[in-house]
Structure 1
Amino acid sequence: MDWDNLRYFLELSRAGKLTAAARHLEVDHTTVARRVQALEKSLGRPLFIRSGSGYQLAESGRRLLAQAEAMESAFLAIEKDEGESIAGGVSGSVRIGATEGYGVELLAGQLAKLSRHHPSLSIDLLAVPRMVRLARHEADIVITLERPERGPYIITKLTDYTLRLYAAPEYLERQPPIRSREDLREHTFVSYIEDLLYSKELHYLDEIGKPKQIALRSTSILAQQKAAIAGAGIAILPSFAARSEERLVEILADEVEFVRTFWMLMPVEGKDLARMRVTWDFLREMAQENQDVMMGR
């Protein structure tokens, strides 16, 4: 069996469409189709159910998927382990997926320290306003808002953090005073686009009641912070990102606070790789050192 054909099978099973799989593999979609057909011919059975909406795994494809993913994991572990140590140091690459706010506001600066200590280690940081998925091999280590219920992962609670209400002084000066939670209902907010929320943990407004108006919605927490600074309205922001911003005022600090948790996970097969252990331990150490910052103290 040709391993290359299995790679095309795996990518199509994850993407569901020839064009999407081809884009990720950086080949033409006809190449993906040809490779999958060759694999089906060699096995003597169809692996996909083809329809106008794309490709869905047939029963034989579902059976093959688990075996192919195990082979892929073993192959990647061997491939990555080749550059694991140079002159006793740690080398190779580690890709970290994190929420946008945490990745940009804290991790980007912290990871510079890791790079100085391990100059042969290469770090990719995916700081994006969506869920980064280990199952799709988008990253080696993922920091997420939700603890996975199952999967071949090592999982740890990284840290709790707080979110609070913030607004620009210019906004507050032209609006009615805010003395209690009830007053918030008459104010304008900046928030997420509800139908594009990537985690149930982001439903903050449900905890304080719907406001009179939401002036601006964005999938980006940093865009929401910028909008609040410009006076668009009140925003619910992570304390670690907003508290040091001089152009924002904290509202009802003793009355309204949201607590959320960051979880960190990596594939089980990564635990024996030096570069993964070093990065994992560093991220935990940084989270512990910054507890006051994370909790808005």
Structure 2
Amino acid sequence: MDWDNLRYFLELARAGRLTAAARRLGVDHTTVARRVQALEKALDRQLFIRAKAGYRLSEAGRELLAQAEAMESAVASIEQPSLSADRLSGQVRIGATEGYGTLMLAGHLASLTRSYPHLGVDLLAVPRSVRLARNEADIVITLERPERGPYVITKLTDYVLRLYASEAYLASHPPIRSREDLGEHVFVSYIEDLLYSKELFYLDEIVRPRQHSLRSTSILAQQEAVAAGAGLAILPAFAARREPLLKGVLVDEIEFTRTFWMLMPVENKDLARMRVCWDFLREVAASSHDLMMGRA
């Protein structure tokens, strides 16, 4: 079997269109079509279903894709010292919590895609758990470490949360000198029956609020509401530092530490594009440690 034909197959499978695959490979689109047809003839199988919207993998194509990616990874392991940015291609979907994905990863991932122009990244930054078991993503950053499963797992980073309010709110409400004073105030928080992780149950550790002025599934929505004077809220320090209207409350008394875990399916660990993204995310976390711990 001609490995070059498999390379053309991989690019077309990832791009979905002849012109996009040809652009990545630096050839004419007719060359891509000819190479894929040669591979189909050699295997005596139809690998793609051709439609107006592009090329979609057939059942035989999906089976070959896993084998071809394993071969690609083996070649990449041998050539690792000389693996160039132009040769790394494909799509990687990363799932993360809304705050971390939006505020910490999005900008860094832009630099990653500039370094690897043929690498495509999907970022799922959502206020819920992204599940590997449902094939929602290739790499997931989550608050809870799975107890079992065929995953590669690493501790990505700790981060701290503190109590915040706007200066305008604090100026127009009773002073807060101790935890006992919190009972006189209103809070912004999560909708408890929609919490997606037990790690987000922390407000009850400091106070049982008499009133919530606003509740939301979104941590970014909570932060916006607090900045607008809606009340007090526990927010990640790495997020709150971006909002100049916020002020820490009882900073010497109230602080929570949580952990982000990163995982991916074991079968992805040897794919070159997964390794590059995995290592990049670890580097971002390491370089942002002081910021995540509220020390920046």
TM-score, normalised to structure 1's length? 0.72
Flag the 1:227–1:193 CA change in 2: closer, same or farther, 3 A: same
Partner letter of residue 91 of structure 1?
A: S
Counterpart Cα distance in 1 of 2:62 and 2:203: 41
For residues 37-76 of structure 1, the aligned pairs below 5 Å read none
SS class of match (2:263): strand
> Size of the alignment, in residue pairs?
227
Counterpart Cα distance in 2 of 1:242 and 1:83: 43
Stretches of structure 2 lacking an aligned partner (at least 5 in a row): 1-59, 77-82
For residues 5-154 of structure 1, the aligned pairs below 5 Å read 77-78=66-67, 89-154=87-152
Report whether the alignment pairs 1:158 with 2:147.
no
Compute the displacement of 1:83 (Å). Answer: 7.7
Partner letter of residue 208 of structure 1?
A: I
Counterpart Cα distance in 1 of 2:159 and 2:62: 33
Contact kept, 8 Å, 2:72 with 2:271, in 1: the verdict is no
SS class of match (1:272): coil
Compute the displacement of 1:178 (Å). Answer: 0.6
Compute the displacement of 1:287 (Å). Answer: 0.2
Contact kept, 8 Å, 2:160 with 2:236, in 1: the verdict is yes
Counterpart Cα distance in 2 of 1:205 and 1:195: 14
Match of 1:172?
Answer: 170
Match of 1:244?
Answer: 242
Counterpart Cα distance in 2 of 1:75 and 1:152: 22
Counterpart Cα distance in 1 of 2:288 and 2:116: 21
Partner letter of residue 182 of structure 2?
A: L
Counterpart Cα distance in 2 of 1:202 and 1:278: 30
Counterpart Cα distance in 2 of 1:74 and 1:281: 28
Compute the displacement of 1:90 (Å). Answer: 1.4
Compute the displacement of 1:119 (Å). Answer: 0.9
Counterpart Cα distance in 2 of 1:124 and 1:82: 24
SS class of match (1:249): strand
Q: Percent sequence identity over matched residues?
A: 69
Q: Which moved more, 1:77-86 or 1:259-268?
A: 77-86
Stretches of structure 1 lacking an aligned partner (at least 5 in a row): 1-70
Compute the displacement of 1:81 (Å). Answer: 5.8
Q: Which moved more, 1:175-184 or 1:72-81?
A: 72-81
Compute the displacement of 1:184 (Å). Answer: 1.1
| Partner deviation per Cα, 1:202-245 (whole Å, 9 max, x = no partner) | 00112112122111000000000010011100011100010231
Counterpart Cα distance in 2 of 1:293 and 1:81: 38
| Partner deviation per Cα, 1:183-208 (whole Å, 9 max, x = no partner) | 11211100000000000000011211
Contact kept, 8 Å, 1:129 with 1:221, in 2: the verdict is yes
Among 273, 276, 283, the residue aligned to 2:271: 273
Contact kept, 8 Å, 1:77 with 1:269, in 2: the verdict is no
Match of 2:232?
Answer: 234
Contact kept, 8 Å, 2:127 with 2:217, in 1: the verdict is yes
Root mean square deviation of aligned Cα: 2.1
Counterpart Cα distance in 1 of 2:186 and 2:209: 7
Compute the displacement of 1:73 (Å). Answer: 9.6
Contact kept, 8 Å, 2:70 with 2:270, in 1: the verdict is no
Displaced runs of 4 or more, over 2 A: 71-89
Flag the 1:74–1:177 CA change in 2: closer, same or farther, 3 A: farther
| Partner deviation per Cα, 1:98-125 (whole Å, 9 max, x = no partner) | 0000000110011011111111110000
